[in-house]
Amino acid sequence: MTATQPGPQPPFERQRALIYGAARGIGRAVALEFARRGAALAIADVDAAGADETAQAIRAAGGEAIGIACDVRLDDSVRAAADEATRRLGDVDIVMNNVGVILSGHPEDIPVAEWQRILDLNLMSAVRSLAVFLPRMLARGRGYIVNTASFAGLYPYATNRIPYAAAKAAVVTMTESLALHLLPKGIHVSCLCPGPVATRVSEGIKSWSADAVMRGPGSQFRLLTPEQVATTLADGMRDGRVMIPTHEEVFEVMREHAEAPDRFLRAKLAAFERGEKGLPVIARPEGR
């Protein structure tokens, strides 16, 4: 079996994982799932109290975990979190870049500074993490990197949050390209792509246009819990998958888009004109 076809991965037992953005939502659920499978966890989040609470929940269940305050907008903070996790747990085997922030507004109403903020949190946070961990993992010849993207980065629909969609599309492309570069070197890479997930990511959302419509990836996608997403991710990592969507049926939509992008876009426009929002039965935006 070649390095670019890694096959099933070893279990999470005795692995040490650092998750940036795990105080709540998908990140918290993933931390709990990794711990249930035997990993020791470092929870890094700007919400220090939330990070500590997640770590405490893992310890209460018999696992090993620490909480770390971290602002992923700052190079030094990202590196300090990595260093603290290494000092307290040992060399980090798995790093997950899970920070995600959305917004709402028409692109003509969104200031450049807000574009910068969204790109900084959703894309550059992962870049800062990679700058720390790639040299370390390459030196050891092993490791696992997980980046969280979104269905919004796979095909067009998220018209009220274009900076977010652009950032997540960059995460998808970056992660797939990293896989090409890193798999032959013994480092595994996965891209978690959430569709509709019942999280609190929309709380406190900054809105720049009163009439911007929240649109989802398609009403055919059922709303999942963060716990379901965590199981899907861990199973996908175990099986050596690079692209791990929360809903397998998304690949059919991606095929439709790839086969005829103009036709796909015009069909979307027609659906918008009919008032279709593409949200699940319980109307929530995608989890990340």
pLDDT tens-digit series, residues 158-197: 999 999 999 999 999 999 999 999 999 999 999 999 999 9
Largest Cα–Cα separation, the chain: 56
The per-residue pLDDT for 10 is: 57
Question: Which parts of the chain sit beneath pLDDT 70?
Answer: 1-11, 202, 281-288
The per-residue pLDDT for 200 is: 74
The per-residue pLDDT for 284 is: 45
Residues with catalytic roles: 164
The per-residue pLDDT for 81 is: 98
E strand or H helix at 75: helix 75-89
Q: How far apart are CA 114 and CA 161, in angstroms?
A: 11
What CATH number was assigned to the domain covering residues 16-273? 3.40.50.720
The per-residue pLDDT for 285 is: 47
Q: How far apart are CA 165 and CA 188, in angstroms?
A: 25
pTM: 0.93
- Which residues 6+ apart lie within 8 Å of 31 measured at CB? 17, 19, 22, 41, 43, 54, 58, 65
The per-residue pLDDT for 8 is: 52
Closest CA to 229 of 33, 20, 2: 33
